[in-house]
Structure 1
Amino acid sequence: MATLTTIAFDADDTLWHNEQFFRMTQERFTELLADHAERAHLEDRLLAAERRNLGHYGFGIKGFVLSMIETAIEVTDERVPAAVIRQIIEAGQEMLGHPIELLPHARETVESVAGDYTILLVTKGDLLDQERKLAQSGLGDLFDGVEIVSDKTPEVYARLFERHGQGAERAMMVGNSMKSDVVPAIEAGGWGVYVPHGLVWALEHAEAPEGHPRFHEIESLAGLPEILARLA
């Protein structure tokens, strides 16, 4: 087995909190539209809009806000008050300005492995928002490379691990999304380390590749050095 030389970290809900702000904003959205549709129906329609719009807007807050507006128009038969649209937009702006809160063990884990491996940040979403969060996190100087991509696929991982390292077979992806961080990295030929966060967007669910020799799961980032020691 090839020696591991490159470690890539996901950003949102791996290094810092993110999904909780989407949940809070969605709760506000259902309250705004409570007179027009039941909560479960609104949530289903919003999720359908998000799934439908991924190809148009990609991942991130802006696409989420546009999906909320689209859903509000649909469930009110195009009678949604302008004041509600304004509040949805304001909720999105608040999300874009929310301060960054690092998850436990994020800084010390990245620092602990930075001296021995090429360290990458691989994230998807709005370019400006991801750049803002990285700048506020204080972790930027620890990474040898930063990749903000439109989606995370085996082909994307293969290209970036070739560009920044010595290929996927010598690379590891660490993240909280089985669908985006773990499975495609393994399919590209690398290692995938799953770090459960607790809050996972419905469109990020996927089956774990149980039994695969390059799949690992840890309770928190604090467990990563032990895995690396075993692979050394």
Structure 2
Amino acid sequence: MAVVASLHGFSADIAVRRGRGTDSVTVLDSVDLAVRAGSVTALIGESGCGKSMVAAALAGLMPPGSRVRGTVRIGGTDMDVQDEKGWRALRGRRIGLVPQSAATSFTPVRTVGSQLAEICTRLGADRNPEQLCAAVALPADVVDRYPGELSGGMAQRVAIAAALAGRPALLLADEPTSALDPGNAELVWHLLGQACADGAGVLVITHDMPSLLRAQKCDDVAVMARGRVLDQLPLDAALASTDPYLRALLNAVPA
């Protein structure tokens, strides 16, 4: 399978202000990770280990002032992390991002349909808002609702619809099932699996091991700790592993 996105030897230091001085904290340390076309990779690890920062690096959304080293490759092209113009050209079209807080990622005073229509126009999408909603199993009248009128599961599906509008080759989903009941979580995994079946490479950052295992949509697991990817391996191999850290992650129950 072709690799649609990868990090190689990627490290990032983030500036932290303390009093009148400025220190830096290393949040990613020589990260190696590959996301393959037509596959779902789950990025798992303890809280605070840098998982969301990996998604930020792959989406070109590193915090201002970050000092980075190593390579980010999207679709075979080595990206300059500081080149915001280049990243803007990729986001939406080549890279779709499902944010961690879907419910707050939309403007509350505009309807879902108007916001999806704006995204479709900007990306030159081949589907309209109604078609996008249908693709994520939402009723047609969702386009006339405001974000505050949606349940958590519906808001998450609207966020997925927005991320899929440009038919990206890489889909990044940050904790997409963390606040959902099992039924909605299963549906979200189904939609991520469908994006994979359509040819996208999907990277899912998750703590929700029960829904990940129930869904049976995950191909690979990448394991993080203390800013590093310790290993990337097939899910079957992860489940058979005797490594105590990996076993603890796979047996975890979401808070």
TM beyond 0.5? no
Which is strand-richer, 1 or 2? 2
Query: Quick check: which has more Rg, 1 or 2?
Result: 1
TM-score range, shorter chain: 0.3 to 0.5
Normalized against structure 2, the TM-score is what?
0.31
Name the one with the larger helix percent. 1
TM-score by length of 1: 0.33
